[in-house]
Structure formats: C-alpha cells, structure tokens
Amino acid sequence: MHHQPLSPQLLPILLLLALSPLMGLGQSIDGRVLDMDTKQPLENVNVYVENSEIGAATNTKGVFKLRNLPAIQPSDSLTFSRIGYKTVKIAFLELTEKPTTVLMQELPSELSEVTIEGKNKLNEKLSYHKLSPLKKGVFAFGSIVVNDSIYVIGGSESFSEDAMRKAMYDATLKYPYGASWNQILNELEPNGTHTAYNNILLTYDIQMDEWRTTETHFENREQHQIHKFEEKVFVLGGKRVSNNGKNEYLLNTIEIFDLDSSNIIVDDVNPHQAVDFASFTYKDNILVMGGSVKLDKAGKKVFTDKCRFFNITSGYWYELENMTKAKEVDGALIGDKVYLIGGFDGQALTEIESLDLSTGKWEKEGDLFYAMENPSITSHGDIIYIYNFGKLTVFNTLENTLSAYDIDLYLKDPNLLYHKNKLYVLGGYTEELYSKTPSPGLFAIDLDEMARTKVRHSKELN
C-alpha cells in the first residue's frame, strides 16, 4: 500500500478532528506506574475501578489511561495490581495530580507462601497456570469441550488503535508544558488497525497441552454460539464485518459440523439473527434468547427480547414466550432451568433471572455484586462460574448463594470452559490506552484452589 504525504493545509484540520473526540469525552484518568525503589516504569500493571468492568493495563512505559468513566463517587477507589507487588488502592478523591504517578512496592520473595504458627494462611487471590497459547489472539469466538479437547470456531483476530490520539498523548508526556504540531507528528506511528477472522477449526489437546490447526474451514463470523449434540457441532448466529470495516452483516446460516466425517452442512434458515445472545442445548433442542439485532440511526444498539428454539430432530424453529426485557445476555442451563446472568440493555445489568422450562415461568433470582455487561460463563453440576475482569464469582444454584474471588487475570470477553475440576480461560482481548489487542492466552484454574483462597464477597440471594 502506498501513502501520499499529507498536505500542510490539511494538517490543522486533521489535528482538530483528532482533538474533537478528546474534548467530548467524559471523565478520564491517566498516569504512570513506577517501582517504588528503582523508579523504573512497571509494565502489565492491572489498573481498574473496584467492582466494575472498567480497567486497563500499563504499557512498556508504565503508562495507563482510563477513558469514558461513568459517574464516580469520591469514595470509590482505583486499584493497581501486579504479581510480585503489593496491591495499591487509591480513592478518586486523592487523585489530584494529572497525570497521576503511582509507586508500587515489590513483595519480598519469601512472602509468596506465608505461614503463621504452622497454619496455612488463605491466599489473597486465586492462583492459575499459564498454558500453551494460541498462535494468534482471538475474541468473540465459540468454544466447547469435546472429550479431552477444546474446540475453537470462528472469532475476530482484529486489532484496532487510534494512532493520532496515541501520538498526541505520547507527545503530552514527553513535552508536559505543551507540544507543537510537529512534535505530535514526530510521535505518530503507522496505524496497525486491521480486520481479520479465524475461520479454521482449532483444537487444544488438554492432556498434551498442545494446539492443532485443522483443515476444516468455517464461515467468517464473530459473537456467535456453538453447541454439541450427539456427534455434531452447531454454529449459529453472530455477524461478520466487511473488509473495509464499515459494514456489518448478521448471519442467517447454521453450520453443522460432523465430528466423525469432518464434513460441514449449511442450513440457511435461522430466524434468530443476533449477536451477543444466549443459547443452550436442551434435550434435542437449541434454545436462543435475546441479543442485539442492529444499530439505529444514532449508532445505538437495538435489542431483542425474543426466545426461540430449534428442534434438531425435526429441523423446525418454534417461538417461546418473550424474555422479561430486551437485552444482550448469556447464562447457563442447570437441569430444566435457564439462568441469565447480567447483560446489557444500554447499560450493564446486575440481575440474575431464571426461566423454568417445565413451567414456562420467569423469575428473578437476585442480583450480582455489581453490574456485568458481558461476563464469561460456564457451569458444572449445580454450580455456575462467572469470570469478569479480575473476579471469579461462584453461583451455587442449589444453595442460592454467590461467592466472589479475586484473580490476577484481567481480560475482557474471554471464553470460560469447565473440564475435570478445572476452569479454562481462553482468548478475549486487552485494552491499552488507544489500542484493542486480541489475546492468545489460555489459563487453567484448579477449583481446589478455592478452598485455599479468601472469599472477597458472599451473600445469599432472595
């Protein structure tokens, strides 16, 4: 691709356009994190607003920026967390410097395992193990466990950044008393934004800790769902984005992958065309609920409250009673009951709702500790596991209780899977200042660790 040099007459206009979004933004906080002793910048420090999904990680210069913050109380706090360092919490009332400088103290190595009078002390946070990563980062994909393997289908490998605003911010740090246009342009780097998909079936051998790439190709899609019934995998819903990134298309196809023959059959009938919807396999049916179906003229999401089911045996679709509200949502199926967890209807939601499939009755089970727009969810037995940006919440549906744990793992929109007493956190993305980067990471959490870890919050639902 060839780039023409910018006309000098256009530079002020372009810079003004780049500045305009900054002027219109809500509250924002930016700063730098340094080692208390060496005063060197600390990379990969997780910076987040307590009990929220708002967070970022520091870059190689120790710099972070939180944008579009909602209404925040002065007593609310900002948390800085990094493995090997003492966690720092600062009330927003104390954030008087702009940009903010935070010093973190390294923990002595002998404190990694603390014992008091021979008795084990509970860990502050859940431990996890890093496994073999994907070759490329991916988010908004579908995944399931088949025997001792994880299957990954679809998803976005797209990377996005705002190169001009990044250059302006870097210049502000380098020239704190004011940067000239030329100094800003000197900081400008090539924009690496691109749109890409994973359309190949990827499999992870859990026992061998090894990823394999297959020859099976699927349609480009993201924000979809996949389900296994007998020896077939069903891929449905979601969207794809045009190559220029300007247009989005909802998909009406269902791809049916035969695990025995590796053949794919395409069904062109899917009335529930949506993204970020909930779906569950129930007997020989696939249930689908909610999601968003388009953007209005103002660019806001339009949500649906429709519930439908696809009968796999007959190939027919049927309507169910609508949800209590239109929203994006996900959840889990326990026995004959669907549980919907949090979600988004223009704002992040706290409610836990259930639908009894034997009676058709909707019921509110209670509320999460805080609103979750797009939590990662899996289940086993009567337990629902909910991961959301540095927190793992356990919902015991039999006892109707919630318990929350801290974990030093800060990803947005990863997939969560259960297999043999372990949770697997896969993919998702990270946001750093002005970029959004797909994560290739795969992490395992041994559920036995919960007995050795402090419960941060707990409550009994109504």
Q: Which domains does the chain have, with CATH numbers?
A: 11-112 (2.60.40.1120), 129-460 (2.120.10.80)
pLDDT at 287: 97
Q: How far apart are CA 245 and CA 30, in angstroms?
A: 29
10-residue averages of pLDDT along the chain (462 residues): 38 32 50 90 82 72 76 76 84 73 79 41 93 96 96 93 80 82 82 83 96 94 95 95 77 95 94 96 96 91 96 94 95 96 96 94 95 96 95 94 95 96 96 87 95 92 84
Q: How far apart are CA 168 and CA 166, in angstroms?
A: 5
Catalogue the E-assigned strands of 273-381: 278-282, 285-289, 292-295, 301-303, 307-311, 317-320, 328-334, 337-344, 349-356, 361-372, 376-380
pLDDT at 8: 39
Which residues sit opposite 48 in a β-bridge?
A: 55, 79
pLDDT at 109: 53
Rg of the chain (C-alpha set): 23
pLDDT at 431: 85
Residue type, 343: G
Q: How far apart are CA 11 and CA 9, in angstroms?
A: 6
pLDDT at 68: 63
Q: How far apart are CA 238 and CA 246, in angstroms?
A: 17
Output DSSP code: residue 157.
-
Closest CA to 193 of 165, 217, 171, 168: 165
Within a 13 Å sphere around the CA of 444, how many CA atoms are in the beta-carbon half? 16
- Residue 232: Cβ-neighbour burial (10 angstroms; 0-12, 13-18, 19+): middle
pLDDT at 51: 66
